[in-house]
Amino acid sequence: MGVENGVNDYTQDGTVDLKGNPVRRSKRGGWTACSFVVVYEVFERMAYYGISTNLVIYLTKKLHQGTVTSSNNVTNWVGTVWMTPVLGAYIADAYLGRYLTFVIASAIYLAGMSLLTVAVSVPGLKPPRCVATDMADCKKASTLQLAVFFGALYTLAVGTGGTKPNISTIGADQFDDFDPKEKGHKLSFFNWWMFSIFFGTLFANTILVYIQDNVGWTLGYGLPTAGLAISIVIFLAGTPFYRHRVPSGSPFTRMAKVIIAALRKWKTPVPTDPKELYELDLEEYAKKGSLELIPHQP
């Protein structure tokens, strides 16, 4: 009976530990693992929106860019932030796995945030304060100053490309869809996930924006950077409890194989026996934890 319970305790969705070994539900995953992910998201969203919300104001008031120019620069940056996750998700699913991709991207993310904090803090990395009433009379930021500031911003964007698409899926991986109870918990997880996003965003759009406008940009950017560092530490602290999915390789390779196989078998007659449409016996696909394949031939 004990052996049977031990076997049933293993996940059925193919998740493993960092060494590639099968994992037990009672030891890894579930709400224990997801608690680290949810808390991470609160601090990370606070960090991101602490930078992005007031970015146009900084560009106009501190770097003395025009409203149109600063708005265009922010739009380009935000577009990059939302495009890089496509590459980050591909690398994670095809090669490195979600966890490793996330950790590497987090280091890049933190480096960008740290450099950004330095850029708004060091006097030599921003033009002198302008007392003129007309912004056109203010001294513009030098090429070096712009390079440091926007270099930091786009480094941050590259980092978010690896964290944004993977953190939510890491959380979802902590629940086994083949277990009805855990499948229900996954739905609850995404409710808490959205709550963590809203809470972090609310803090950034109120407290951090107030600090930036009324106290100073050094503290206003330093707090989000510290928040991001804390979020990464929290995530790493949960490493012993995470379940992981093995990278499946490039989807383009599998797509190419399907196309080539289809071309080779263009004129192959369809078997009259349905069992011949599967590579394995039908009983194999009926086992718990197996996914049914689209009818095909070897």
Burial 22-53 (b: 16+ CB within 10 A, else e): ebbbeebbbeebbbbbbbbbbbbbbbbbbbbb
Strand segments, DSSP code E, in 22-104 are: none
Q: What does the DSSP 8-state code read for residue 242?
A: -
Average pLDDT (12-22) is 91
> Would the pLDDT of 219 be above 70?
yes
pLDDT at 272: 75
Q: For the segment 124-138, what is each residue's pLDDT rounded down to a tens digit?
A: 999 988 876 666 678
Which candidate, 53, 65, 4, 62, places its Cα nearest to that of 209?
53
* Percent of the chain whose pLDDT exceeds 90: 70
pLDDT at 157: 97
> Would the pLDDT of 172 be above 80?
yes
* Percent of the chain whose pLDDT exceeds 70: 88
Average pLDDT (24-47) is 95
pLDDT band at 287 (very low <50, low <70, confident <90, very high): low
> Would the pLDDT of 277 be above 70?
no
Any bridge partners for residue 16, and if so which? 22, 244
pLDDT at 1: 42
Number of helices and strands (H, E) in the chain? 11, 0
Q: For the segment 235-248, what is each residue's pLDDT rounded down to a tens digit?
A: 999 999 999 999 88
pLDDT band at 3 (very low <50, low <70, confident <90, very high): very low
Average pLDDT (143-155) is 97
The two three-digit tokens of residue 183, written as one number: 């499948």
pLDDT band at 252 (very low <50, low <70, confident <90, very high): confident
Average pLDDT (39-55) is 96
Query: Which domains are assigned to the chain?
Result: 12-241 (1.20.1250.20), 251-285 (no CATH)
Distances (CA, A) of 298 to 229, 257, 274, 280: 50, 12, 13, 9
pLDDT band at 283 (very low <50, low <70, confident <90, very high): low
Q: What is the mean pLDDT of the chain?
A: 88
pLDDT at 4: 46
